[in-house]
Chain A
């Protein structure tokens, strides 16, 4: 049995080198390094070997190295085979289970090297063993982790896109089992059009050049059905930066995609309907506009000729004839008022209303001026001088004017009208109350008074077109405000409007 010292050349003054080498080996504790003779018997042992395998030097020297192998490996005569390979090709390398002295096993990385003398004769083997159990567990954990993921298809490819690994998620989402897809090119997941457009190549090129590729698109399952995929492709590089493949993570987003598509369809439909409504609104406005104008031409004729008749022929009329003429003139005036209000109602719905900061008190005074001379004491105003609201000035004036003229008009018999205009600020909102002591409105009528042509009284009692409050309501909506009424029959009404308060100009 050759002693370890015989492994070196005794004639050369290399005893020191040999000594240094031995010390090096003896100092290694992470690797089991030991020598075998040609038959596989252990002839040297280092501290690493002792730590790894549990045997002390004196109890292992001379033992056959097959002592480290599992029963299964022994049954297949593996130790002999390994030495044979090492003797023939110079080196044997593997990872596999080995046994410790206490019978426990560990995952070993083993290298067995042939050692020969100067004449080339085999004189033994050097063995280096590492405990790779931890690394194996880590790899295994990682692999199992990825394999067990079912919500995501995770697979790897070589640099040309040929599949090298496949997880459960990939099987679930794409329908292929690992054994039937590994080795195939990933381009088969793409639609024919995408393949024709060289999308698969583009994906890999982009990932390689930019560090990743993300995208969404339709992909094809094994059964030919399609799914909406959200994809991330990452290049895999070794320590030297050399590309050795790609990883690809794919999620099936079909449900979300369909939901989004449906949402989009709905919003498009909604848009279309809004357009249609806008269009029909515009048509309605145009209709009202042209009707109002075409109605005016004969009205001018009625008024004009009635006046001409009165001027030129009044003397020839009886009293009754003069009354009839007055009826014609009065009716024509009412029709004129109606058309004007209708036009105004249309205008309020049509014109653009750029909102500005408006002094509320100024607007009230202007509205009051429009109503002509009011008897003193009829109107009291309690509005802070500096209070400003966001509104369109002319339309706000019109709204207030309509409310004031209503408040004055619907007076109780035998009672002098009193109208108060009071502003309240509630947070960012300004409410303007127009309160009268008039006839009031029964609760069941309070909703309908805002409609066009809605009148509660006959013309002889209270004149009017029935459009004034409709204009108020429309104008307030257009200006982003609100309006309403609180009233008791016989006690009067309080009409109110609300607008956002405006900051200083």
Chain B
């Protein structure tokens, strides 16, 4: 069976400084994988290379076996990558439901100028129902009509997740989903993601600083430091390894 994501030999440098050094990352279908590392390790840069926001200097990105290295962001998104952002990126002037509707209509290709002009640009009841189902799943059902500007950061993150889910991704890239959330909200988010994953069967690649979340949520982990892959393997083993603790926590005293 082919992997959902197969990134080979990804190298990226900015003005001579190597941000990613020949990374290999593989994510299998339905897996939950963490990508961790100290600030500036290159995690978000790697995400951007996978999604096509940045072009790596060399290396290939394969999605479900297909080489997407030369495709643009929206083309890769249509091949099954969903993403949330470290600094949330929402659409001003749109309601919560509209965020999901835009994604849903884009996925179906159901919009279009001529339909708009004929008065059929409004979303179908089926599309609305799909969006509302996801909103319910995320616990945003009551907020569907709210303008996005009225939402808290935590709810905004959930909207981002919902928007990404509407594209029915095979792979969901989550960029620090817990930043700005309190413990309870983080736990809620993890629970919701599990439910959605059971439902849709996508794989998750998670960039996260919250070690608790990483430990409880992911099965495997990759550890980056200064653009180099310094460790990989089952999450709990990785978190315990000395080299990781040194890079990440700055201490080598074995704990417990």
Q: Do A and B bind each other?
A: no
